[in-house]
Amino acid sequence: MIYQSEIALDKSLQTVLEDTFGTYAVVIDRHPSQLRSQEIGIVQSIGQGIARVVGLPHVQSEEIVRFTGGSLGLVFNLDPEEVGVILLDSSDTLQSGTEVRRTGKVLDVPVGDTLLGRVVDPLGRPLDGKGLVRTSQRRPAEREAPAIMDRAPVNVPLQTGVKAIDALIPIGRGQRELILGDRQTGKSGLALDTIINQKDKNILCIYCAIGQRSAAVAKLIADLYEHGAMAYTTVVMAAGEDPPGLRYVAPYTATAMAEYFMEQGRDVLIVYDDLTNHARAYRELSLLMRRPPGREAFPGDIFYIHSRLLERSTHLNAEHGGGSLTSLPILQTEAQNIAAYIPTNLISITDGQIYLSPILFQKGVLPAIEIGKSVSRVGGKTQLSAYRAVAGDLRLSYSQFEELESFSRFGTRLEESTRLTLERGRKVREILKQKQYAPMAAAVQIAVLLSVTAGLLDRVPISKIAIAEQAIAAAIPAQLADLCLQIEKGDVFAEEDREALLKVSETAIAKALEE
């Protein structure tokens, strides 16, 4: 019996193999092999982050090429005698004479939900030690921006949780708001607070670090983990020690990852930190490739490379899913010069700017936002009704206070009205201060700002303003939960709502000062 079963098994195996080879033969007959020519170039010279290649006569601009050993490059220059390639990997293993092969593909990156919570390089390769990023789709890094007719007006606010921004320089979903200032003034911290504030708001975040120190990015990622923000965030990192080619493509690949979510009808926030380093990387590559420099040694198309990047941030209309991509590009100025070449370029591309002053930073006014030089050209239309009712005149009165304060230093005698205006202004400035990693809900912001504009804090010493603010922040959600929900929804802010906020705030301030 055992012998017969073995014979039957052999016959069934033989039948399977015959069927398999028969199918294989049919497939080969249907698809006859064809000889194809493959272009193989030779590296002529290697520079700092670039390579000059000969022998690729049909290669196309922005095509990916592969060097022997697996290193990748991006075609940058097409000259009659040679091809200029920017390196996307280390050049340590490359030398003159290395073979280069065409791939016939443009630069693309993996996209999908599996990228959330991951730290990857600009090519989508993992940097967090959690294994490969497994996605089913890829998107080209360079894509045309959505057409004008595919866009919808920016009509929904993006709450940052920062009082000075949400009340005075509001941002809408689909807007491009530039954050600029000198180094070490809190630009990245402001963007980080905005990402943390999107928790439970159904907004996905992409943080693109361009040319930053690895230690600084590691600290930022640790802060995102600590505050539970990495669950909805992807970090795309091109460190300062990486090749300039990676720093150059980083914002484009990060935007491709964000566009995938936007086209699904979701809201996305992307932070570019920072575009000064991106411009420097592009300048470095251009000069190495012998492209003629223009103003301040930047090539003339520096405006174009940033505009084609930021134009991809928008709010799509309902026919295209209704998703939005909000961008917060960061820019570093030198010696407070916002009229330099790159800052003026980006200011003209974006829909407003938030300027961080080193003078305010040194005085301890944090976040160091200079209201007079900051503007939002779109977000005011999206602002919640309660903000418009409370903070409508706050920006103008605060700017007048700052001007009056500078003039009052020259006089010894002040009128009573002037003295009261200065005192109120100093308390507004104090109330606009906010610690990092402490985003504030919209209803609490409204109550705090209403308290100072309505005069509830006039008799409170400046040293106790923070105590009064904490009391208001604790009392409002506890006693006016329904009103808080109405404010968050954007319902009309009625007079009785205003009175209710003032009543609870006044009681909370009185109790706090008694203790």
Q: Which positions are catalytic? A: 377
Buried b (16+ CB within 10 A) or exposed e, 120-134: bbbbbeebeeeeebe
Contacts (Cβ under 8 Å, ≥6 apart) of 85: 50, 51, 52, 53, 65, 73, 74, 75, 76, 100
Residue type present at position 351? D
Give the integer Cα–Cα distance in Å for 165 and 178. Answer: 12
Q: Transcribe 191-244 into DSSP letters.
A: HHHHHHTTTTTTEEEEEEEES--HHHHHHHHHHHHHTT-GGGEEEEEE-TTS-H
SS3 state of residue 52: strand
Taking alpha carbons only, the member of 215, 222, 330, 328 closest to residue 273 is: 330
Taking alpha carbons only, the member of 107, 119, 69 closest to residue 245 is: 107
- Cβ count near 419 (within 10 Å): 12
Report whether 117 contacts 142 (CB < 8 A): no
- Cβ count near 189 (within 10 Å): 16
Taking alpha carbons only, the member of 258, 254, 233, 278 closest to residue 146 is: 258
Report whether 51 contacts 91 (CB < 8 A): yes
Contacts (Cβ under 8 Å, ≥6 apart) of 461: none
Residue 174 has phi, psi (to 5 degrees) of 105, 0
Q: Transcribe 450-483 into DSSP letters.
A: HHHHTTTTTTS-GGGHHHHHHHHHHHHHHH-HHH
Residue 275 has phi, psi (to 5 degrees) of -80, -10
- Residue 485 CA neighbour count, 13 Å, CB half: 4
H/E stretch holding 22 reads: helix 2-30
Give the integer Cα–Cα distance in Å for 56 and 76. Answer: 13
C-alpha radius of gyration, the chain, whole number: 29
Report whether 77 contacts 64 (CB < 8 A): no
Angle, CA 329 vertex, CA 327 and CA 331 arms, to 5° = 170
